[in-house]
Amino acid sequence: MTTKISEPDAKSQWSSRPSIILQRRLALLLLIAQGGITVTGSIVRVTGSGLGCNTWPNCHEGSLVPVQGAAPAVHQAIEFGNRLLTFVLVAFAVAVFIAVLLARRRREVIVHAVIQGLGIVVQAVIGGISVLLDLKWWSVALHFLPSMFLVWMAAMLYIRIQELDSEPQVRTYSRAMRFVVSVFALGIAAVLVTGTMVTGAGVHSGDSGVGMEGRLEVDIELMAYIHAGTMYFFLAVLLLLFTGLVMQKAPARVRKTGWILIAMILFQIAVGIFQFRMGVPRWTVPVHVAMSSVIVAFSSFLYAIGMVRTVPDNPKSTTGSIAGDEKYFPQRYPVSN
């Protein structure tokens, strides 16, 4: 005989079961926060607030919080506020990790969640080191680039967390196109690295009192042209990739992601040209950084959906995993006596 347990009330279970819907929403919040903190970091730079808190992990020597008169109040508020956002990121990362752990998701999803948590801690330490080094251009670059990696990985997590663990993984485009996407990803890395070098040679040092001290001593115009060249290469690879995807009749989801990427890159190029012509107005820097995060995220989407676990039109799973459903909905898996 079988023992049948009544279905728990859905509303009472919402707070106790990590449904796949809840997991997905938490992953999206984490992705937005990863991109958002790069924007607030750029605001720290263009307002000259980088040394508003002049040490780390304290804000000032002997004080964890801002000290009146130690630096301009607005600079302290902006830098300290940016530091506090790290705790928001940690909260989202911990929430995602707990949700996928309780849902007994597959190892791939749990590993992605762990990477986010560890990455945030490492990134905070790198940021602290850049402050201790008085915002040397290369230390700031090393602070920015891992943020882009974490945005990429958060986007991957967002895609993977929506897939049902029990479903098989299938290709949505060919191995050849997968290789082109990999080249495309390398192009992103080149664009980001050269972009940090343009910034390092530019006028926005991150602290109002530093000026050009500790800046990258290269011809900024030449560096800007090199950065633009990598961006055009990046766009050319994307156009080649998109053409291949259309010819292979890739799923609409893949082609839509490609179209969005093309539009975002063209907009980013326009912002970059405007910056170059107008002498890098302060307000354009957060816009440029925000678009970098958006482009990295959608590039990660394009890579991730090349290999996906199919999701039925009417999935029966609530948590995304068989093990999670067995835990929270044992009546779906009767136990024989």
Q: What is the pLDDT of residues 138-193, one digit of tens each?
A: 888 888 999 999 999 999 999 999 999 988 888 888 888 888 888 888 889 999 99
Rounded to whole angstroms, the Cα distance separating 200 from 206 reads 10
HSE, side-chain direction, 13 A CA sphere, residue 115: 20
- The residue type of 40 is T
Q: What does DSSP assign to residue 315?
A: -
pTM (2 d.p.): 0.89
Domain boundaries, the chain: 20-312
- Of 15 and 318, which is predicted with more confidence? 318
Rounded to whole angstroms, the Cα distance separating 203 from 223 reads 13
pLDDT at 88 over 80: yes
Q: Which residue has the tokens 């136990």?
A: 335
pLDDT at 211 over 70: no
Question: Residue 47 has what pLDDT?
Answer: 87
Question: Residue 314 has what pLDDT?
Answer: 64
The rounded mean pLDDT for the chain is: 86
- pLDDT (mean) for 29-33: 97
Question: Is the Cβ–Cβ distance between 100 and 109 less than 8 Å?
Answer: yes
Rounded to whole angstroms, the Cα distance separating 309 from 23 reads 17
Q: Which residue has the tokens 């989202």?
A: 92
In the chain the first and final C-alpha atoms are separated, in Å, by 6
